[in-house]
């Protein structure tokens, strides 16, 4: 039995088919701003154990879907599952972000890396996806994801989060061949991981290139975009969304990968972005996540502004330009989601009624 999606706005928008209202989902929609998330997180004991427990990961994935009129669910997980599975000793210290006990600094370190087997090494992710698909019961599509090779490499070489990226950039400038070897291994890992996620039930996949924006144009092309090209070429069967935070200068080149959609952050104008990419790709974004600290009227005003910038027609997926911050009041998230649906109706034709329409996936 192929399930029929009850809400297929996201998939319709990704296919540039008419919709009744602009679909909306939010990066980190399952997360710390939700009290019900914090409860499960406490029960799990640690962030990593929450990611690794399919039942709990499923539960937190569905929490925002139960609470808000979101048009998609996104797998609750972390981009660092891949380097974790590579044996780098991943931990998340409370309030400090990720740390790798064994960062990658030398040719020997790179040579020791193997491409993880998704079903045996990351089976808990595939189990979570299968469970989420079952529990979602076709209410909305499920998005799977991975980090970009460049972004994963920054964490693996720095040993955690960074503000100056000095180790990975020193490697890039001093040993470009070694850096490319590392990125090639990661690209193979990401392709295998996303294929397995699709096989398990992910109906859309997204690649988070969180740190591509810290590169110059030639370095972005060589060390991030080239590998995004390979990933898009390696994925079949579901739409793929690419997101390079701070990548506003490279939208045309990102579209040339033949991805289906590009996520843009709030520093890029949605209207200008649409003019630049035309009908080649769908655009996802892009309000400042901090708008969720504003009062309801101001949130609605900002939603209206971004919808107006994109203008009429399909091909827009509403989202934040980055993840929801932990201190946000969940009620404001509801205000934003409802505002997108209500205020976007005039931008869609009467023929675009999609909500509730059957669509095979």
Q: Would you please indicate which residues are annotated as catalytic (active-site) residues?
A: 28, 32, 41, 78, 155
| Site for a second copy contains 134 (CB under 8 A) | no
Is cis: bond before 338, omega within 30 of 0?
no
Residue pair 53/60 in contact (Cβ under 8 Å)? The answer is no
Of residues 116, 248, 315, 330, which one binds a second copy by CB under 8 A? 248
Among 279, 329, 277, 322, residue whose Cα is nearest residue 299 = 329
Complex with a second copy: residue 86 or 215, whichever CB lies closer: 215
d(CA 154, CA 182): 11
Complex with a second copy: residue 169 or 230, whichever CB lies closer: 169
Give φ, ψ of 265 to 5 degrees.
-90, 175
d(CA 229, CA 281): 14
What is the total count of residues that contact a second copy (CB under 8 A)?
A: 33
The CB-of-97 to a second copy minimum distance in angstroms stands at: 10
| Site for a second copy contains 216 (CB under 8 A) | yes
> Under rule CB under 8 A, which residues in 43-102 are in contact with a second copy?
none
The CB-of-248 to a second copy minimum distance in angstroms stands at: 6
Of residues 116, 149, 201, 246, which one binds a second copy by CB under 8 A? 246
Residue pair 185/191 in contact (Cβ under 8 Å)? The answer is no
> Under rule CB under 8 A, which residues in 265-304 are in contact with a second copy?
266-269, 287-288, 290-291, 293-295, 298
Of residues 139, 169, 274, 348, which one binds a second copy by CB under 8 A? 169
| Site for a second copy contains 253 (CB under 8 A) | no
For 112, the 3-state DSSP assignment is coil
What does the CA dihedral 341, 344, 346, 348 come to, rounded to 10 degrees?
-100
The CB-of-104 to a second copy minimum distance in angstroms stands at: 16
| Sequence-distant (≥ 6) Cβ neighbours of residue 123 within 8 angstroms | none
The CB-of-103 to a second copy minimum distance in angstroms stands at: 16
> Under rule CB under 8 A, which residues in 324-343 are in contact with a second copy?
325, 327
Complex with a second copy: residue 118 or 289, whichever CB lies closer: 289
Complex with a second copy: residue 129 or 324, whichever CB lies closer: 324
> Under rule CB under 8 A, which residues in 172-211 are in contact with a second copy?
172-174
d(CA 353, CA 49): 41
The CB-of-266 to a second copy minimum distance in angstroms stands at: 4
Cα 338–Cα 339–Cα 345 angle in degrees, nearest 5: 100
Complex with a second copy: residue 216 or 350, whichever CB lies closer: 216
The CB-of-325 to a second copy minimum distance in angstroms stands at: 6
Residue pair 11/361 in contact (Cβ under 8 Å)? The answer is yes
Encode burial over 326-359: b for 16+ CB neighbours within 10 A, e otherwise: eebebebbbbbbbbbbebbeebbeeebebbebeb
Which residues form the interface with a second copy (CB under 8 A)? Answer: 164-166, 169-170, 172-174, 213-219, 246, 248-249, 266-269, 287-288, 290-291, 293-295, 298, 305, 325, 327
């Amino acid at each position: 039995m192929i399930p029929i999606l009850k809400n297929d706005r996201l998939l319709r928008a990704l296919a540039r088919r008419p919709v009744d209202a602009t679909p909306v989902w939010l990066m980190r929609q399952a997360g710390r701003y939700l009290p019900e998330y914090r409860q499960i997180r406490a029960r799990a004991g640690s962030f990593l154990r929450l990611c690794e427990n399919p039942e709990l990961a499923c539960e937190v994935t569905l929490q925002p879907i139960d609470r808000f009129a979101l048009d998609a669910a996104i797998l609750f997980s972390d981009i660092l599952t891949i380097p974790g599975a590579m044996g780098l000793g991943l931990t998340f210290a409370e309030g400090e972000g990720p740390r790798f006990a064994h960062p990658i600094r030398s040719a020997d370190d790179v040579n020791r890396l193997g491409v993880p087997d998704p079903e045996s090494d990351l089976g808990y992710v595939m189990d979570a996806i299968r469970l989420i698909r079952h529990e979602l019961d076709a209410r909305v599509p499920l998005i799977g994801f991975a980090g970009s090779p460049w972004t994963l490499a920054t964490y693996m070489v720095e040993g955690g989060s960074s503000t100056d990226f000095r180790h990975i950039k020193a490697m890039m400038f001093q040993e470009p061949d070694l850096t490319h070897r590392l990125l090639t291994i990661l690209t193979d890992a990401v392709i295998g991981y996303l294929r397995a996620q699709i096989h398990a039930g992910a109906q859309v996949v997204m690649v988070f290139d969180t740190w591509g924006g810290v590169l110059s144009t030639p370095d972005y092309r060589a060390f991030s975009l080239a590998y995004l090209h390979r990933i898009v070429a390696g994925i079949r069967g579901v739409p793929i969304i690419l997101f390079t935070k701070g990548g506003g200068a490279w939208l045309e080149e990102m579209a040339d990968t033949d991805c289906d959609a590009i996520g843009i952050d709030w520093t890029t104008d949605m209207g200008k972005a649409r003019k630049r990419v035309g009908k080649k790709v769908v655009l996802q974004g892009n309000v400042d996540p901090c708008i969720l600290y504003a009062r309801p009227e101001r949130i609605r005003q900002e939603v209206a502004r971004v919808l107006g910038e994109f203008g009429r027609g399909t091909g827009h997926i509403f989202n934040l330009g980055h993840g929801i911050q932990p201190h946000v009041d969940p009620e404001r998230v509801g205000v934003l989601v409802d505002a997108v649906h209500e205020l976007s109706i005039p931008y869609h034709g009467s023929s675009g009624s999609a909500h509730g329409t059957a669509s095979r996936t």
